[in-house]
């Protein structure tokens, strides 16, 4: 059972769009210093879809070598084809991944039977814990609570669900009701915007790349210590940062700009066709971060 905060790693790029090797290590150092319980590589917000196979392999090798088993690493292995998904999953296992995360494959007229069969086939081919990613914008398919619970009950290797289909707290509770006593770890995503409500509904933690992971770690730690009111207070005081960062279409650019300001990456470059921030968004970010830093001096802002 994996629980706590797993930070989804971005892929830093140089100004000319190449993978920033030094930046990858610094981002990991920032998240690890924040006290996260694990890392997630090759996720949706890692811009994995914009990497070629060589870049993807190089990136994962660098990540696993730098982490060096200090924390578990979950590797995204979503693919449209079953054989490709199995291939990526085998590769992740060989690199030392603690688990893999995958969405249902994108295909015309996808249905519940096909989704269940996909996870069943992967589990039959590779012996590694699986986290089911429920994120309809990526898969094009909405998994109902009964399907998610059914997959987890039938397939013993399915140990977790990353649930990103709002309203997430409501859906988490419905999935857990259908688990019939079988343990399952459910993680919220969506930048952490609904973290406290997800924890209240039974989530084990969060799996997101939010650029100020110290907040997530604090909220989850307090909640698991039984200090729910204090956890809620921290969340309510900082959720504006999560909301601003997780803006559809431009969120990755904002996240990278925050990481740049924290000294983790040299450039906030995203690969096309990703959106870039305009002047008004940058000005709004300036105001938000100035307020945050004035209110949270306990957080070491840069790596220096």
Within a domain: 241: no
On whether residue 231 sits in a domain, the answer given is yes
Mean pLDDT of 242-257: 96
H or E stretch covering 161: strand 158-163
Rounded to an integer, the average pLDDT of 78-101 is 97
Token code pair at residue 224? 């698991």
CB proximity list for 63: less than 8 A, separation 6 or greater: 9, 24, 28, 39, 41, 73
Question: By mean pLDDT, which of 54-58, 137-141, 187-191, 223-227 is the weakest?
Answer: 137-141
Average pLDDT over residues 295-304: 93
Please report the pLDDT score of residue 296 as a whole number. 95
Domain range enclosing 39: 4-236
99 occurs within a structural domain = yes
Q: Give me the pLDDT at residue 108, please.
A: 87
Chain mean pLDDT for the chain: 96
pLDDT, tens digit, 9 for 90 and up, residues 171-206: 999 999 999 889 999 999 999 999 999 999 999 999
Q: What is the mean pLDDT of residues 33-37?
A: 98
State the pLDDT confidence band at 275, using cuts at 50, 70 and 90.
Answer: confident
Give me the CATH number covering residue 114. Answer: 3.20.20.70
Which residues does residue 206 pair with via DSSP β-bridges, in sequence order?
5, 188
247 inside domain: no
Residue-wise pLDDT for 208-240, tens only, equals 999 999 999 999 999 999 999 999 999 999 999
Mean pLDDT of all residues in 63-90? 97
What's the rounded Cα separation, in Å, for the pair 198 and 170? 8
Does 266 map to a domain?
A: no
The alpha helices in the chain, defined as continuous H runs, are 21-33, 53-67, 82-95, 112-125, 136-139, 145-154, 168-177, 195-201, 213-224, 228-245, 251-261, 279-295
Residue 2 banded pLDDT, cuts 50, 70, 90? confident
Distance CA 283, CA 289 (A): 10
| Token pair in block for residue 200 | 């209240």
- What total of structural domains would you count in the chain? 1
Burial level of 178, CB count in 10 A (0-12/13-18/19+)? middle
Task: Flag whether 159 is in a domain.
Answer: yes
In a domain, 288, yes or no: no
In whole angstroms, give the CA distance from residue 39 to residue 97: 10
User: CB of 104 within 8 A of CB of 143?
Assistant: yes
282 is a domain residue: no
pTM (predicted TM-score): 0.96
Confidence bin at 1 (pLDDT 50/70/90) = low
**In this structure, what DSSP letter does residue 46 have?**
G
């Amino acid at each position: 059972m994996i629980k706590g905060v797993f930070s989804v790693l971005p892929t830093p790029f140089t100004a000319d769009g190449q993978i920033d090797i030094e930046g990858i290590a610094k981002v990991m150092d920032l998240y690890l210093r924040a006290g996260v319980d694990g890392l997630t590589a090759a996720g949706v917000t890692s811009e994995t879809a914009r990497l070629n196979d060589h870049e993807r392999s190089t990136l994962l090798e660098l990540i696993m070598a730098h982490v060096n088993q200090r924390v578990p690493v979950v590797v995204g292995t979503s693919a449209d084809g079953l054989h490709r998904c199995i291939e990526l999953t085998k590769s992740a296992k060989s690199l030392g991944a603690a688990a893999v995360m995958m969405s249902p494959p994108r295909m015309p007229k996808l249905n519940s039977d096909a989704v269940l069969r996909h996870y069943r086939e992967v589990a039959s081919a590779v012996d590694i814990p699986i986290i089911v990613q429920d994120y309809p914008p990526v898969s094009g398919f909405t998994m109902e609570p009964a399907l998610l619970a059914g997959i987890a009950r039938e397939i013993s290797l399915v140990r977790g669900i990353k649930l990103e289909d709002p309203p997430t707290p409501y859906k988490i509770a419905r999935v857990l009701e259908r688990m019939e006593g079988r343990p399952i770890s459910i993680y919220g995503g969506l930048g952490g915007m609904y973290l406290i409500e997800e924890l209240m509904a039974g989530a084990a933690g969060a799996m997101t790349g939010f650029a100020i992971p110290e907040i997530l770690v604090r909220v989850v730690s307090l909640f698991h210590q039984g200090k729910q009111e204090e956890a809620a207070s921290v969340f309510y005081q900082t959720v504006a940062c999560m909301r601003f960062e997780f803006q559809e279409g431009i969120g990755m650019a904002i996240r990278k700009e925050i990481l740049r300001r924290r000294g983790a990456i040299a450039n906030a470059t995203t690969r096309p066709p990703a959106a870039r921030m305009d002047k008004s968004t940058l000005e709004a970010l300036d105001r938000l971060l100035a307020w945050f830093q004035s209110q949270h001096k306990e957080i070491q802002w840069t790596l220096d």
